[in-house]
Amino acid sequence: MANDIIHALVFIQNWGDNTDLMGILKSNTNVISLFHIMGKRSYLIDANFDNKEQVEEWITRIKSVKLASGVPAVQSIETQKIIEVHKKKEDFSLQDYRNLVDKFHFFVKIENPHHDEDLIAVLNSDPIVQSILHVQGECSYIAEVITDDYSSYKSLLRKMKDLPSIQHLETQEIISVIKYRNQILDESGNLTLPEKDIREMYTL
């Protein structure tokens, strides 16, 4: 990862009509990927920023989105800076995600305050783990899992729970992938890049 770019995962909890919010997030150049998730939050965003001032301006803009009633559309925003990428999918696109309709797809938030090498070894050795991110914030790691068989995911959870350093695991199932590596599905149903962007960097 480049040292001059701030990479972050952003969790957003919203309510009500999300049309305006989705319009902003899909076209925003800081938002590289956008996942609709089930759990404590509504959306998971893979984003990058030039500096902390840009992060602050972006959060202020997202918080300013209001519903027709005038109530803020966004209830909460949680940012987690990405410290290190241990595993990343290569040659993966939004079309690949659209082809996953019969597969189980999760993000797993992992709190592991020590003995990171043991956790990384478990995650790296399991083929259903697609991405491994070391993050700064509410949890220690976030792993992405894609599998044909839910029992294989349960097996991975058991292996992680056997590690004495694990303090908390939280599974967030993916409902849909709205944007991935700057690619979206436009109104006509075609995969497209909404605008050119010099940012080639992503973490998921």
Whole-number Å distance between alpha carbons of 128 and 105: 10
Q: Which domain holds residue 14?
A: 6-82+176-182
Q: For the segment 84-140, what is each residue's pLDDT rounded down to a tens digit?
A: 999 999 889 999 999 998 999 999 999 999 999 999 999 999 999 999 999 998 899
Q: Are residues 90 and 169 in the same domain?
A: yes
SS3 sequence of the chain:
CCCCCEEEEEEEEECCCCHHHHHHHHHCCCEEEEEEECCCCCEEEEEEECCHHHHHHHHHHHHCCECCCCCECEEEEEEEEEEEEEECCCCCCHHHHHCCCCCEEEEEEEECCCCHHHHHHHHHHCCCEEEEEEEECCCCEEEEEEECCHHHHHHHHHHHHCCCCCCEEEEEEEEEEEEECCEEECCCCCEECCCCCCCCCCCC
| pLDDT tens track, the chain, 204 positions | 455 789 999 999 998 777 889 999 998 989 999 999 998 899 999 999 999 999 999 999 999 999 888 899 999 999 999 999 999 998 899 999 999 989 999 999 999 999 999 999 999 999 999 999 999 988 999 999 999 999 999 999 999 999 999 999 999 999 999 999 988 877 777 777 666 555 567 788
Residues 67 and 110 in one domain: no
Check whether residue 13 and residue 54 sit in a common domain: yes
Q: How many domains in the chain?
A: 2
Domain match, 59 and 37 both: yes
Taken as a whole, the chain contains a residue count of: 204
Distances (CA, A) of 3 to 9, 164, 201: 16, 33, 12
Which CATH number fits the domain that encloses residue 129? 3.30.70.920
End-to-end CA distance of the chain: 12
| Same structural domain, 95 and 77 | no
Can you give the pTM of this predicted structure? 0.91
